Structure 1
Amino acid sequence: MTLTLENRSQNKESSLTQALRQIQQLNSKIALLEQQLQDYVHQQQNLIPAIAEICVSPMQEVQALRILIYRGEAACRQYLRSVLMKRKKDS
């Protein structure tokens, strides 16, 4: 009887320890995802002044912002480069 109670107690402790370890792993993953989100937002915010500086018309600004929102930073940078190249070509 005593052995059975000890085994149950050990199993409960083992389950609690395992659950605590899983919670700690999830907290680590959440912290990593939060950092990645902050980095992503910061990168996008850095593009907004560049959009305002490079785009000469409101339509270009709207297009650049749409690309930034829907396709991401790399596509927006590519669009801004194409705007600059077109401007140089037209000059």
Structure 2
Amino acid sequence: MTLTLDNRSQNQELSLTKALRQIQQLNSKIAVLEQHHQDYVRSQQNLISAIAEICVSPMQEIEALRILIYRGEAPCRRYLRSVLVKQRKAS
């Protein structure tokens, strides 16, 4: 009887230890995801500031934001570069 209780206790301890390890791994993954999200938000804020700074017409701003929303950051940056090039050529 004592041996059975000891085995049961050991199994429960092993299960708890395993569960704790999994919780710690999940917490680490959550921390990494939160950092990625903060980096993403920061880059989007910088990009929105750049849109406001670079675009000279509301239509350009709308187009830049539309590209950002539907196609992503890289195409939006390309669009902003093309706007800058056109502005330089016009000067």
Q: Same fold (TM over 0.5)?
A: yes
Given the two structures, how large is their TM-score scaled by the length of structure 1? 0.90
Identity %: 80
Q: Provide the aligned length of Structure 1 versus Structure 2.
A: 91
Q: CA deviation at 1:28?
A: 0.7
Question: Which residue of structure 2 aligns with residue 64 of structure 1?
Answer: 64
Superposed counterparts of 1:1-91, under 5 Å: 1-91=1-91
Given the two structures, how large is their TM-score scaled by the length of structure 2? 0.90
* Cα distance per residue 1:22-73 (max 9 Å; x no partner): 0010011001101100000000101122111211111110111122222222
Question: Hey, what's the Cα distance between the residues in 2 that align with 1:69 and 1:34?
Answer: 21
Which consecutive residues of structure 1, in runs of 5 or more, have no partner in the other structure? none
Which consecutive residues of structure 2, in runs of 5 or more, have no partner in the other structure? none
Question: Hey, what's the Cα distance between the residues in 1 that align with 2:14 and 2:72?
Answer: 45
Question: Hey, what's the Cα distance between the residues in 2 that align with 1:31 and 1:66?
Answer: 31
